[in-house]
Amino acid sequence: MSEKPTLRRSLSIRDLVVYGMLFIGITAPMGTFGVLDARSDGVTPLVFAVAALGMGATAYSYARMSHVVPKAGSVYAYAQAGLGKFPALASGWMLTLDYLFIPAMAVLFMGIAFNALFPAIPTWGFTVCAVVAITVMNLLGVRLAAKVGTWVLVVEIIMLATFVASAIYVLCTSGAVRSVGSPIAGFGRFDWSGMFGAATVAALAFLGFDAIASFAEETTGDTKDVGKALGVCLIVAAALFILQTYLASLLSPYSPEFLRSHPEVQGTAFYDMLDRQIGTWLHLPITLMRAVGPIFSAFVAQAAASRLLYAMGRGGDLPTFLGEVEQKERVPKNATLLSAGVTLVVSTLAALSPSGLETLSTMVTVGALVAFLFLHASVIGYYAFSKGEGVRAAVIPVLGMAVVLVLLIDASHTALLIAAGWAVLGLLARAGRGLFHKKS
């Protein structure tokens, strides 16, 4: 009797970094620059530095657990090792709120962007095409997808480098609009409350780097590769975020005070800066890049979601057919198709709703943050108690939990209600499954 096929080990540490950077999106601050600039009183680069430090605790916890539990499913697998069976189920279920709906949010964002460029085609039409494309890529195997993703990331880096070079040229020839120290020191009296409040929003830009942990069973290196890739992604993303927002701050035609009094321009503040200070020639390429980028974020998110469903199916917490691996390409085909189906339905419904993007963003944010709480608790349970390391193993995870709790407190009531409803749905599904097995 032949052994069941397992996931193929074909991803290098470079591939993991590519996946992480594609999921994060190296130009993520462009869309939120105006909001953060207004809220922080002009210290947006400092805001991203603080947010990165806050997320560093989460990267640390992922690195520790991925080393000792190098399995697909990330937090679900870690909670099994550090907390037990039921907490693992709870963490996995809440993580599905993140991983299952992030692809829908990403393709919806892409659909909205392309609909603005080509209004004759409805948003849902673009989302359907995107779901089909990313599903085909994921079914063809992670190695091919990693190669395609690498080229996409190269294009994104070239576009960002073009902006950086152009901004530096303008600064050298025409000078800065704001003082060179203002993006760090602010204007006059430093607003600590505004800065930390903006940091809670900026921290959300880093969500997604954790998806790397889902591919632990498909790496070609040792068990430390996932942790190393997580650290590289966080550091590189933070550096790029700080650089682009620092240059944008120096060239911004709007003061933070103006942005606060005119919230309608906050969403376009970065692009208005491009048009006025650098030229409209760069606006369209960057807009296209910002439209195409979410497709590959969705592609990585769908792959991560399928690994979570695969791990939970293999562990018996979801139907076992999800824990099967396709023979030829060695991918979790059933889990991938289920993830694609959810993405297709959710993104289409959201595209038809005026508040669809906002609702999806609140769902995935809270799902990720709750999963982070389980992650930090797993580190404490495994290292502080099971391995006897005591308090020293709990210090950084406790700091990470504090950061996550601040983010959750700042979340909308709607998001928290949705998360609570999702948790109740999971409990009911588990109870029904247990009752069915008992009768059988």
**pLDDT tens digits along 37-61:** 999 999 999 999 999 998 999 999 9
Assess whether pLDDT exceeds 70 at residue 440.
no
Question: How far apart are the C-alpha atoms of 286 and 288, rounded to whole Å?
Answer: 5
Helix ranges restricted to H, 7-139: 13-24, 29-40, 44-68, 75-82, 85-99, 102-117, 123-139
Residue with tokens 């989302």: 127
Q: Which of 37, 11, 97 is nearest to 268 (CA)?
A: 37
Note whether 421 and 370 are within 8 A (CB).
no
Question: How far apart are the C-alpha atoms of 360 and 353, rounded to whole Å?
Answer: 11
Residue 1 lies in a domain: no
Question: How far apart are the C-alpha atoms of 97 and 414, rounded to whole Å?
Answer: 14
Q: What is the DSSP letter of 11?
A: B
Note whether 384 and 121 are within 8 A (CB).
no
Q: Would you state the structure tokens that stand for residue 194, as one six-digit string?
A: 């505004």
Residue 437 lies in a domain: no
Q: What is the mean pLDDT of residues 132-151?
A: 85
Q: What is the DSSP letter of 26?
A: T
Residue 2 lies in a domain: no
Residue 341 lies in a domain: yes
pLDDT tier, 1 (very low <50, low <70, confident <90, very high otherwise): very low
Question: How far apart are the C-alpha atoms of 218 and 311, rounded to whole Å?
Answer: 13
Question: How far apart are the C-alpha atoms of 18 and 250, rounded to whole Å?
Answer: 30
Assess whether pLDDT exceeds 70 at residue 108.
yes
The domain tally of the chain equals: 1
Q: What is the pLDDT of residues 295-317, one digit of tens each?
A: 888 888 899 999 999 999 999 88
Residue 267 lies in a domain: yes
Q: What is the mean pLDDT of residues 70-78?
A: 93
Residue 349 lies in a domain: yes
pLDDT tier, 166 (very low <50, low <70, confident <90, very high otherwise): very high
Assess whether pLDDT exceeds 80 at residue 282.
yes
Q: Would you state the structure tokens that stand for residue 418, as one six-digit string?
A: 């949705």
Q: Which of 101, 363, 102 is nearest to 209 (CA)?
A: 102
pLDDT tier, 82 (very low <50, low <70, confident <90, very high otherwise): very high
Residue % of the chain over a pLDDT of 70: 97
Q: What is the pLDDT of residues 215-266, one digit of tens each?
A: 999 999 888 999 999 999 999 999 999 999 999 999 999 999 999 999 889 9
- Tell me the helix, strand and coil percentages in the chain, rounded to 5: 80, 0, 20
Q: What is the mean pLDDT of residues 179-208?
A: 85
Residue 39 lies in a domain: yes
Q: What are the C-alpha distances in Å from 117 to residues 120, 334, 369?
A: 9, 35, 34
Could you tell me the residue range of the domain that residue 271 belongs to?
11-424
Helices and strands (DSSP H and E) totals, the chain? 18, 0
Residue 197 lies in a domain: yes
Q: What is the mean pLDDT of residues 321-334?
A: 92
CATH assignment of the domain containing 249: 1.20.1740.10
